[in-house]
Amino acid sequence: MSSDASPAPAKTPVTLRQVAASAGVSVATASKALNGQGRMTAETRERIRETAQRLGFRPNSLAQSLLRRRSFTVGLLTNDTYGRFSLPLMAGVSDALVDAGVSVFLCNVEDDMRLAQLHVEAMLDKRVDGIIATGKRIDRHLPVDLANLRIPVIYAFTQPDPDAVGFESDDAGGARLAVEHFCRLGRKRIAHVTGPASFAVVHERARAYREVLAEHGLPVAEPLLGAWSEAWGHEAVAKLFDGKAGGAGAPDAVFCGNDQIARGVIDALRERGIGVPDDVGVIGFDNWEIVAEATRPPLTSVDMNLSALGREAGLALLSLVGGQPAAPGIRKLPCRLVVRQSCGRPPGG
């Protein structure tokens, strides 16, 4: 075919000036025509629109940003590149922003102050409209101070500065969901195996665990604190069940601090010939699907709704950038229990 209908990939982008020249008007008129501003004959407006279309004109976002003092760009700062927490969160953020035409700079700072500073300065130089800070631990600060930045900052799943807006998952609420589910199923001796004492969430979840058991008049066993690993799940089973074979004191349910511990617990129980969920129910935390679904039986787990959390954070930043004031403080978003087969069915069901 000699007539090529493709939009002719120009070497250099088409400018408004070229559109104006081609349509035989001034750049001012062209701009107004394309933005629906100003007054002109419908015919002129349409002619300019068609010309722009034909030439494949797209306004230079840099020039617009310079003028509007708004870059339609935000920075996402994280120290959790490899982790699985920041990923769904990032997806949620991006999802909330893409429809507003806002792009996201991803900045992984590890735990390196120098790198963090470098990235923040780069973002500031590029005139990001705002920053979302996130990390792998809800109870730790990023290795950089974002307090006096003259652009809005939102914290998600990481410790906010005072007077800042932060979003977190409601860990205590999530723990309640799990333990109450066990109670509803008629479990009586519910144990809690969780991570190290140095994590704030460990205490928060343990507190909720104790509260729910007390509310139901059930015995409260001291939570077992260890590591966030399968190996610790194994060990914990030994502690819980040794010397109590078939026993009076042995738990009939284990609420675990994460899915890896739960996996270790289930594997250890199977090795001891203890049936899951018939003899002992197990619930995990994080709902890390690749683990929860590979567990035998598939693991019931608390999902922190991180993607929704990211969305909320993105929308909050957008509103802050738009000039809406926001009360500082931490907003907790509810968790959700994903029921699979490791916790058993209700007696009547």
Q: Which is nearer to a copy of itself, 331 or 336 (CB)?
A: 336
> Least distance to a copy of itself from the beta carbon of 181, Å?
26
Which one of a copy of itself, DNA, none is in contact with 254 (Cβ closer than 5 to 8 A by kind)? none
Which one of DNA, a copy of itself, none is in contact with 294 (Cβ closer than 5 to 8 A by kind)? a copy of itself
For the chain, give percent helix, strand, coil, nearest 5: 40, 15, 45
Contacts with DNA in 14-33 (CB under 7 A)? 15-17, 24-29, 31-32
Q: Which is nearer to DNA, 47 or 188 (CB)?
A: 47
Burial 225-258 (b: 16+ CB within 10 A, else e): bbbbebebbbbbbeebbeeeeeeeebbbbbbbbb
- Scanning 37-45, 109-117, 212-220, 292-300 for contacts with DNA by CB under 7 A, the matching segment is 37-45
> Least distance to a copy of itself from the beta carbon of 101, Å?
6
How many residues in the shown chain lie near DNA by CB under 7 A? 31
Pairing of strands 224-225, 329-333: unpaired
Q: How far is CA 61 from the centre of its chain?
A: 28
CB 118 within 8 A of CB 129: no
Binding pattern for the stretch 64-103 against DNA, x by CB under 7 A and - elsewhere: x-xxxx----------------------------------
**Phi, psi for 57 (deg, rounded to 5):** -70, 135
CB atoms near residue 9 (< 10 Å): 6
Q: Give the C-alpha separation, 191 to 29, whole Å.
A: 73
Which one of DNA, a copy of itself, none is in contact with 40 (Cβ closer than 5 to 8 A by kind)? DNA
Q: Which is nearer to DNA, 59 or 173 (CB)?
A: 59
The type of residue at 198 is: S
Q: Give the C-alpha separation, 181 to 175, whole Å.
A: 10
Burial class (CB in 10 A: 0-12, 13-18, 19+), 117: middle
Q: Give the C-alpha separation, 219 to 236, whole Å.
A: 18
Binding pattern for the stretch 41-60 against DNA, x by CB under 7 A and - elsewhere: x--x------------xxxx
Q: Which is nearer to DNA, 22 or 341 (CB)?
A: 22
> Least distance to a copy of itself from the beta carbon of 191, Å?
21
Which one of a copy of itself, DNA, none is in contact with 114 (Cβ closer than 5 to 8 A by kind)? none
**Which positions touch DNA (CB under 7 A)?**
12-13, 15-17, 24-29, 31-32, 34-35, 37-41, 44, 57-60, 63-64, 66-69
